[in-house]
Structure 1
Amino acid sequence: MSDSSPLPPVRLHSEAELARAALSTPLLARAARLARWAGPDTRVDAGGGLIEEQLPGAADQLGLTGDDAAAYAAEAWRVALDSGLVEIADEDRGTVRTGEALALLTGSPQEVLTVWLAALETVLADASVPDLDDLVDALDEGGEIDFASLDWDPEAEAEFLDGVLGNLYLLTVSEDGAGDGPVPLPALAASMIVPDDMGEPTDDVLEQVSDAMMRLDDQFRTLEPVGLVEYRPVDEALMADADEELAAPVEEADVSRYGMVRLTPLGAYGLRARLMEAGFEAPVVGELADKGADVLLDGTAAFGPSAALAETELWLNRHEPLSGARELLAAARGTDAGGPLRRLRCQQALSLVGGEAEPALREVLDDPELGGLARVWLSERGAAEVPAPSQDLVFWLTIDTVAAQLAAEGNSEELQALVEGLAEQHSGFFAAAWRVEHPATADVLEAMGRLHPDKKVAKEARKAAFKARSQQGG
């Protein structure tokens, strides 16, 4: 991902809901329980971890049994220490005391989430570390870890996981992405490995995808207890066969056997916080609701249709229909490059407003930039005495509409259909269109020349664009 342009807006749950979810995550709940259990007799080693003799008591406090109980208890303690729920009281004696962060868990939702974000960072760091068995195997004669034998680059591993989580966030919040649904692990791994311009992946690339899936399987198992994701692991039967090619094409019905991951609402909050800290612009649906209409129209310019609709509905809920309509219309004016898309967003917003707004629309009937959309609004509601538009206004509105669609969608199929329809419905369209005094006239005609499938019509559009540009230059 690039941080040069904003990410699609995310819909976040309320902080109160997110805080409740954070407190109920297994890992933070265990960490808090150990922080309350710890006392004067609790002892830690030089690194702050519970000494081995105390791990069984910690596991028992958490109700953990089995071979992995001590490891889970040690992980919960590490989260408690790193997130400030406990603190080292005396390094020489290895004693601990209650940390200031423990009180935050009974504080405001924002305070709870601050502790959870600290816990998340600890777990993300752990997820980038090789398996414990691999670390033991890599010990040299002096008891030090031979990182070269592990073929492990900590920085590269952390960057890879960040990239995967960034792609998962993007797939979750994008208009045409997974939304609340799960993402197949092979697709997520391939998004990091397979080049965009590669047709059929090579065997080498497929092997890299397979290796990435195995790493991600371990990492998502680690990340699930902190509440970042919901994860259905890779089927153990597939992993049992060392010769199984995990990246090979699979039937859709079987794709879940290869792992499925879903970003939770809490996870979306956490990843957005990390993305913003890394310098990305990561908007949230609802953050424009208390801003002016100018900020709303400009801010939703890059939103997809459903996100723009949701943001606009929240804004309208805070405004009276008539005054809101007047504010939107005033903000929609402008001959700058963003003007057409502002007017499109304004038109979409006004479509949600009832008849109480009619006076505001009638007030702009003579406005050269707003008169067209005002007539459309009034006509759609069956209003009386709507003046017919002049031919100049019709052509100006047409250019403005196509310019807005270009800005919103680029060369989409919908825009191509619109272009074809305009050329069919208006004979001599290009002969008149190049004369339209609109800043985007030449750009729109050039786009029509690119998009229209009929070579003859496309040529007419290009000629008209040349005339329009010559007129603008003159």
Structure 2
Amino acid sequence: MSAESHPTLPPVRLHSDAELARDALGAPLFARAVRLARWAGPDTRVGIGGELVAAQLPEAAAVLGLDAADAESAGHASRAWRVAVDTGLVDVTEPEEGDGEQFGTAAPGEDLALVTRGAPGDVLDLWLAALDTVLADAAVPDLDGLVDALDAGGEIDFDRLDWNPGREADFLDEVLANLYLLTVSEGGAADGPVPLPVLAASMVVPDGMGDPTDAVLEQVSDAMMRLDDQFRQLEPIGLVEFRPVDQELMAEAADEEATAGGSAGRDGGDARDGRGAGDARDDEDVSRYGMVRLTPLGLYGVRARMLEAGVDAPAVGELAGKGADALLDAVALYSEGAAQAEIEQWLAGRELPAAAAELLAAARGDDEGGPLRRLRCQQALVSAGPEAEPAVRSVLDDPELGGLARVWLAERGLRDVPAPDPEMVFWLTVDTIAAQLAADGETQGLPLLMETLTAHHAGFFDQVWRVEHPATAHVLEAMGRMHPDRKAAKEARKAAFKARSRRP
């Protein structure tokens, strides 16, 4: 999983370990692996590699409640057995060459006891090991052409097969990383499913590309069908909920392409508008092209793999035991909703007066991150409620926090709130706009905020450039670009020049 592609991600809200462990035990493939581990015994015969011998598969399928005579059931039993062996739920002794033994033996492994007597974390560790096995299997392509890819010595010619195991595994990891990012991003998929063509396009269509070419659309189509096969394999382990591609739809698309003499070539569709294979201009139900979403267990699993790869993938609640300085530094980079959730967990269980004082102390600073820390501190104090009042009043004379304190007290209609002096008003204005710029950039709502903050101060730009705030010039330059009043914008640009000139 590429740490370079996603160096820092938005925080994810995970279910508790107990809930996730229950989900893991309920995942069909993992549950089957546990049942086969309990079934393993002296009469269980395995071959080289620890796989069940063919003669044992019907009995294993019957143990799983499957039709013992069905070939597909034998495949389910074989996959479940492989998961059981790879996770340590089953211990196998393989036959050794030259010892005269045709078969090895199997028995329940020590780790099987963790399923019923282990902590939730133990169960999740077993499930993660099972996930590794399933992902490795899913990265193996359809080997229908395997016989044709054998060389004269009976070895697989990977060049002829056009399969690079490392490349395939990296592709699947990157797909899951993209799906994770779509899920946790503000305004992203959240708990909703992602259309398979959109996910495929995220892997194929170059950033900034306009209308995709026919060649790119063909690549999207190929990637979509590849993912359709892979997600079918990943669903039984509980990683995803998946609605496969409607095969009738694909057959219809193939017929249309044949009728058109191969001119269509657009099975993948234009993922930018959420449609999939076929003509992106029609109103076909996008769900027919496949829909996928990470389950809560899947979010946990993908995040665990990303952390192992060195990706910064935070989870809401991780900062609950850390100091206010660590909290404000971290949530400064979060969306407002994620920051609020993290703040609420940090405050839970703390003595609120002391917590408020700690937050205010951590909000100080004239560094570049100071304005956004103070914005998040103000957000945290809202959650702290009236118990924060003594701590807030204690900073009324603080040059960096006094304005914030007055706003907080006034919003609650509290008495005895001293009026700020002009210098504090201008400083707070600069700090507020600097925080908004750092949090969201030059958003559509920022010009209105600028207009509101400057409308009640005659000669605002004649005075604000003198404010001793490290972001004064930066804020004035932004106001010069964004202020809705043309005259005010011009005055802001002049004030920005003066602010730049006075600083060494």
The TM tier, using the shorter chain, reads: over 0.9
1:457–1:153 CA distance, 2 compared to 1 (3 A): farther
Identify the match of residue 448 of structure 1 among 457, 479, 489: 479
Query: 1:160 offset after TM fit, Å?
Result: 1.2
Contact 1:445–1:462 (CA under 8 A) maintained in structure 2: yes
Counterpart of 1:302, as a letter, is L
Deviation track 1:186-216 (CA, whole Å, cap 9, x = no partner) reads 1101111111211111111100000000000
Aligned residues: 473
Query: 1:433 offset after TM fit, Å?
Result: 1.4
Identify the match of residue 277 of structure 1 among 308, 322, 330: 308
Name the SS for the 2:285 alignment partner: helix
Deviation track 1:63-93 (CA, whole Å, cap 9, x = no partner) reads 2223311111111111111111112224324
Q: Percent identity at matched positions?
A: 68
Task: Say whether residues 1:22 and 2:54 are aligned partners.
Answer: no
Contact 1:3–1:281 (CA under 8 A) maintained in structure 2: no
Alignment of 1:354-433 (within 5 A): 354-433=385-464
Counterpart of 2:21, as a letter, is A
Name the SS for the 1:59 alignment partner: helix
Task: Say whether residues 1:234 and 2:245 are aligned partners.
Answer: yes
Deviation track 1:339-382 (CA, whole Å, cap 9, x = no partner) reads 11110001011112222222221111111111111111111111
1:427–1:150 CA distance, 2 compared to 1 (3 A): farther
With 320-329 and 301-310 compared, the bigger mean Cα shift is at: 320-329
Name the SS for the 2:340 alignment partner: helix
Contact 2:479–2:492 (CA under 8 A) maintained in structure 1: yes
Identify the match of residue 319 of structure 1 among 337, 341, 350: 350
Query: 1:456 offset after TM fit, Å?
Result: 4.9
Identify the match of residue 69 of structure 1 among 69, 73, 79: 73
Query: 1:461 offset after TM fit, Å?
Result: 2.3
Name the SS for the 1:96 alignment partner: strand
TM-score (norm 2): 0.90
CA distance in 2: counterparts of 1:420 and 1:399, whole angstroms:
13
Counterpart of 1:80, as a letter, is A
Query: Which residue of structure 2 aligns with residue 128 of structure 1?
Result: 139
Query: Which residue of structure 1 aligns with residue 373 of structure 2?
Result: 342
CA distance in 2: counterparts of 1:257 and 1:214, whole angstroms:
13
Counterpart of 1:79, as a letter, is V
Query: Which residue of structure 2 aligns with residue 175 of structure 1?
Result: 186
Task: Say whether residues 1:246 and 2:267 are aligned partners.
Answer: yes
1:266–1:57 CA distance, 2 compared to 1 (3 A): same
Query: Which residue of structure 2 aligns with residue 58 of structure 1?
Result: 60
Query: 1:58 offset after TM fit, Å?
Result: 1.1
1:332–1:253 CA distance, 2 compared to 1 (3 A): farther
Query: Which residue of structure 1 aligns with residue 382 of structure 2?
Result: 351
Contact 2:48–2:94 (CA under 8 A) maintained in structure 1: no
Contact 1:3–1:279 (CA under 8 A) maintained in structure 2: no
Query: Which residue of structure 1 aligns with residue 113 of structure 2?
Result: 103
Counterpart of 1:264, as a letter, is T
Query: 1:430 offset after TM fit, Å?
Result: 2.0
The gaps in structure 2 that reach 5 residues or longer are 258-264, 270-279
Identify the match of residue 13 of structure 1 among 6, 12, 15: 15
Query: 1:393 offset after TM fit, Å?
Result: 0.7
CA distance in 1: counterparts of 2:210 and 2:467, whole angstroms:
44
CA distance in 2: counterparts of 1:102 and 1:250, whole angstroms:
53
Name the SS for the 2:313 alignment partner: coil
Query: Which residue of structure 1 aligns with residue 288 of structure 2?
Result: 257
Query: 1:109 offset after TM fit, Å?
Result: 0.4
Query: Which residue of structure 2 aligns with residue 49 of structure 1?
Result: 51
Identify the match of residue 301 of structure 1 among 319, 323, 332: 332
Name the SS for the 1:354 alignment partner: helix
Contact 2:50–2:94 (CA under 8 A) maintained in structure 1: no
Query: 1:62 offset after TM fit, Å?
Result: 1.0
Name the SS for the 2:331 alignment partner: helix
1:250–1:145 CA distance, 2 compared to 1 (3 A): farther
Counterpart of 1:6, as a letter, is T
Deviation track 1:92-136 (CA, whole Å, cap 9, x = no partner) reads 242223222212212110000000000000000111101243435
CA distance in 1: counterparts of 2:52 and 2:231, whole angstroms:
25
Identify the match of residue 464 of structure 1 among 486, 495, 499: 495
Deviation track 1:273-309 (CA, whole Å, cap 9, x = no partner) reads 0000001011110111122111111111111111111
1:420–1:152 CA distance, 2 compared to 1 (3 A): farther
Counterpart of 1:76, as a letter, is A
Counterpart of 1:324, as a letter, is A
RMSD: 1.9
CA distance in 2: counterparts of 1:200 and 1:422, whole angstroms:
42
TM-score (norm 1): 0.95
Counterpart of 2:267, as a letter, is L
Counterpart of 1:55, as a letter, is L
Query: 1:157 offset after TM fit, Å?
Result: 1.4
Contact 2:91–2:107 (CA under 8 A) maintained in structure 1: yes
Query: Which residue of structure 2 aligns with residue 32 of structure 1?
Result: 34
With 418-427 and 381-390 compared, the bigger mean Cα shift is at: 418-427
Contact 1:290–1:318 (CA under 8 A) maintained in structure 2: no
Counterpart of 2:84, as a letter, is A
CA distance in 1: counterparts of 2:282 and 2:114, whole angstroms:
48
CA distance in 1: counterparts of 2:283 and 2:199, whole angstroms:
15
Query: 1:449 offset after TM fit, Å?
Result: 2.4
